[in-house]
């Protein structure tokens, strides 16, 4: 099978490429490198000993997509390409809607033109807003509080309408919880451009000495230690969910939506403690006021993906922190560290 991977040079995309190549699939990548380095693809080739066909370009560029579909016999698409910084999306809503929504329309139009109708889409647990109860199942009501979340929700609606209009499409919508961790080789991992917004990369940069201290946003939540609770999922488990989703839509067509999470909630302080164990250092932190827009707790009920995809998250919290530390300590400046 030949899989077109949009955004394949990015964090989750690069980990998924490793598994696709190890599974002997052919891959073609399109990435505009707006939030990635081509070095990630070189490293995926080093890990797997296999070649990647890479197009540096934008999913908004239909002519380029048409060339890719003409030059390769694509069977399915995994669509990672998107902008993902919540704060930035509030500042630059048009850029987010253009990139994430119009980019997906452009992709789906060209897929339809070439009669390639197998699609796996990267959605997010952010579409559940502030859930009324926990754990979260796929039938919970959806809502969004920022343009990033709104763009994911809009694409979900578009894909549902597309399927309703033409049920020869096979679509898996995957709602990721909090992806963390890195490939066990330590060669690929998360490489944020600027000051990290997310917890794990921030902790990792404190551990490696790039940042003096962690700000813990709020210690007065209704959680076991007062700090925010999330469902952290190892990126290798997450990547595997995409292979399972491809198998699923190949064997049992339709539109399906799955939570990809572990079902376990860990607090900010749980994560700090686990990271201290992994790196053997004490990590300084201070309690600060709550971050605007944050919720107390969010974790998945992943039973639907367990039952229907035969997919299980198998990595522990220690695997997540150890692999992050392995990547971060080997590559203190990410892909610019060589």
Catalytic residue list: 148
State which of positions 146-185 bind ligand UD1 (CB under 6 A): 148-149, 178
State which of positions 1-30 bind ligand NAD (CB under 6 A): 6-7, 9-13, 30
Based on the shown chain and the rule CB under 6 A, indicate whether residue 199 belongs to the binding site for ligand UD1: yes
Based on the shown chain and the rule CB under 6 A, indicate whether residue 274 belongs to the binding site for ligand UD1: no
Query: Burial code of 125-153, b = ≥16 C-beta within 10 A, e = fewer?
Result: bbbbbebeebbbebebebebebbbbbbbb
Stretch that binds ligand UD1, among 41-49, 164-172, 240-248, 291-299 (CB under 6 A): 291-299
Which tokens sit at 129?
């807003």
Q: Which does 82 bind (CB under 5 to 8 A by kind): ligand UD1, ligand NAD, none?
A: ligand NAD
Based on the shown chain and the rule CB under 6 A, indicate whether residue 181 belongs to the binding site for ligand NAD: no
> Contact at 8 Å (CB) between 227 and 267?
yes
Based on the shown chain and the rule CB under 6 A, indicate whether residue 268 belongs to the binding site for ligand UD1: yes
Based on the shown chain and the rule CB under 6 A, indicate whether residue 334 belongs to the binding site for ligand NAD: no
> Contact at 8 Å (CB) between 120 and 249?
yes
- When binding is defined by CB under 6 A, the residue of 230, 244, 315, 326 that contacts ligand UD1 is 230
- CA–centroid distance for 66 within its chain: 26
DSSP H or E run through 246? helix 235-251
Based on the shown chain and the rule CB under 6 A, indicate whether residue 58 belongs to the binding site for ligand NAD: yes
- When binding is defined by CB under 6 A, the residue of 86, 120, 172, 274 that contacts ligand UD1 is 86
Q: Which does 103 bind (CB under 5 to 8 A by kind): ligand UD1, ligand NAD, none?
A: ligand NAD
257 DSSP β-pair partners: 173
Stretch that binds ligand UD1, among 13-21, 22-30, 124-132, 328-336 (CB under 6 A): 124-132
Based on the shown chain and the rule CB under 6 A, indicate whether residue 335 belongs to the binding site for ligand NAD: no
- Alpha carbon separation from 264 to 46, 314, 329 (Å, rounded): 33, 12, 27
Stretch that binds ligand NAD, among 80-88, 199-207, 216-224, 302-310 (CB under 6 A): 80-88
Which tokens sit at 236?
């290798």
- Alpha carbon separation from 51 to 43, 74, 157 (Å, rounded): 11, 16, 35
- When binding is defined by CB under 6 A, the residue of 92, 198, 247, 273 that contacts ligand UD1 is 198
Positive or negative, the CA dihedral 246, 247, 251, 254 is negative
- When binding is defined by CB under 6 A, the residue of 89, 104, 118, 122 that contacts ligand NAD is 122
- What is the CB neighbour count within 10 angstroms for residue 116? 19
Based on the shown chain and the rule CB under 6 A, indicate whether residue 223 belongs to the binding site for ligand NAD: no
| 3-class DSSP string for 271-315 | HHHHHHHHHCCCCCEEEECCCCCCCCEECECCHHHHHHHCCCCCC
> Contact at 8 Å (CB) between 294 and 229?
no
Based on the shown chain and the rule CB under 6 A, indicate whether residue 78 belongs to the binding site for ligand NAD: no
Which positions lie near ligand NAD, rule CB under 6 A?
Answer: 6-7, 9-13, 30-36, 58-60, 80-84, 99, 103, 122, 124, 176, 179
């Amino acid at each position: 099978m030949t899989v077109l991977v949009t955004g394949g040079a990015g964090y989750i995309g690069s980990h998924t490429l490793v598994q696709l190549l190890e599974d002997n699939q052919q891959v073609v990548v399109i990435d505009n490198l707006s939030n990635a380095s081509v070095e990630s693809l070189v490293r995926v080739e080093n890990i797997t000993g296999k070649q990647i066909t890479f197009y540096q370009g934008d999913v908004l560029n239909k002519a380029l997509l048409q060339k890719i579909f003409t030059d390769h016999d694509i069977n399915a698409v995994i669509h990672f390409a998107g902008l993902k910084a919540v704060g930035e999306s509030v500042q630059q809503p048009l850029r987010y809607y253009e990139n994430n929504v119009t980019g997906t329309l452009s992709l789906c139009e060209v897929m339809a033109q070439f009669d390639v109708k197998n699609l796996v889409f990267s959605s997010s647990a952010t579409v559940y807003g502030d859930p009324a109860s926990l754990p979260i199942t796929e039938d919970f009501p959806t809502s969004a509080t920022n343009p990033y979340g709104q763009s994911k929700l809009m694409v979900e609606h578009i894909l549902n309408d597309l399927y309703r209009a033409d049920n020869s499409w096979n679509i898996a919508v995957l709602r990721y919880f909090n992806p963390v961790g890195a490939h066990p080789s330590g060669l690929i991992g998360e490489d944020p451009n600027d000051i990290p917004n997310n917890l794990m990369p921030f902790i990792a940069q404190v551990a490696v000495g790039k940042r003096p201290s962690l700000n813990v946003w709020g210690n007065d939540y209704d959680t076991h230690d007062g700090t925010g609770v999330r469902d952290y999922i190892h990126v290798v488990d997450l990547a595997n969910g995409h292979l399972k989703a491809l198998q699923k839509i190949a064997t049992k067509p339709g539109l399906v939506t799955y939570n990809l999470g572990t079902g376990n909630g860990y607090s900010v302080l749980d994560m700090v403690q686990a990271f201290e164990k992994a790196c053997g250092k004490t990590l300084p932190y201070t309690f600060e006021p709550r971050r605007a827009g944050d919720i107390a707790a969010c974790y998945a009920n992943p039973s639907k993906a367990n039952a229907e995809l035969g997919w299980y998250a198998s990595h522990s919290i220690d695997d997540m922190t150890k692999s992050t530390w392995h990547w971060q300590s080997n590559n203190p400046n990410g892909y610019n560290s060589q």
